[in-house]
Structure 1
Amino acid sequence: MEKPIIAQKSPIPVELKKGETYYYCTCGRSSNQPFCNGAHQGTSFEPLAFTAEKDGTAYLCGCKHTSNPPYCDGTHDKLKEE
């Protein structure tokens, strides 16, 4: 099973609008982090579609190892250097 690339070891703050659908990058390859730009093509990864529940700042996972995607859960603090 492929492992995602760690885009960064910290959450990525983004402004979301309630009711809008976003596509979160799950592979770590996108140059438009934390959102998908299609760089997963040829891998086993697919973007994660999610709809914002409220307006405001959300902290999306940059390490791609969260147990609550697309939101950061602090897992990046436990990752070893790869």
Structure 2
Amino acid sequence: QRVRQNERSVQSRLQTTQPVPAARLPYRVKLTAGKLYAWCACGHSKKQPFCDGAHASKAPGIKPVRFTPDKDKAVLLCACKQTKNQPYCDGSGCNYINEVSLT
């Protein structure tokens, strides 16, 4: 009984409510028109910039952003998870990454 309580306590401490940066620079990707994508919003996915379901155990309060492009195109998808234009990079994370790196 006590071991299970400790396991739950450790798991809850390992879970995050804030996204974590996955990389310092955005991901340049080619998107296909009409295809459904799920952008990782939590930063824990091993298949960045796309979701692999890691949020379910590491950041359950953060859900992926699903989107379907209307035409084939190359885009920059956010890696720092600070963009105001999810899933696309808006440059706002550059300052965030630099601040985190300096602390």
Q: What TM-score do you get using the length of structure 1 for normalisation?
A: 0.92
Match of 1:56 among 69, 73, 77: 73
Alignment match, 2:26: 11
Higher RCO structure, 1 or 2 (CA under 8 Å, sep 6+): 1
Alignment match, 1:32: 47
Question: Could you list the runs of 5+ residues in structure 2 that have no partner in the other structure?
Answer: 1-15
* SS across alignment from 1:3: coil
Over the matched positions of the two proteins, sequence identity in percent amounts to: 41
Task: From the two aligned structures, give the one with the greater helix fraction.
Answer: 2
Q: Distance in 2 between matches of 1:2 and 1:40?
A: 10
Task: From the two aligned structures, give the one with the greater strand fraction.
Answer: 1
Q: What TM-score do you get using the length of structure 2 for normalisation?
A: 0.74
Corresponding residue pairs, total: 82
* SS across alignment from 1:81: helix
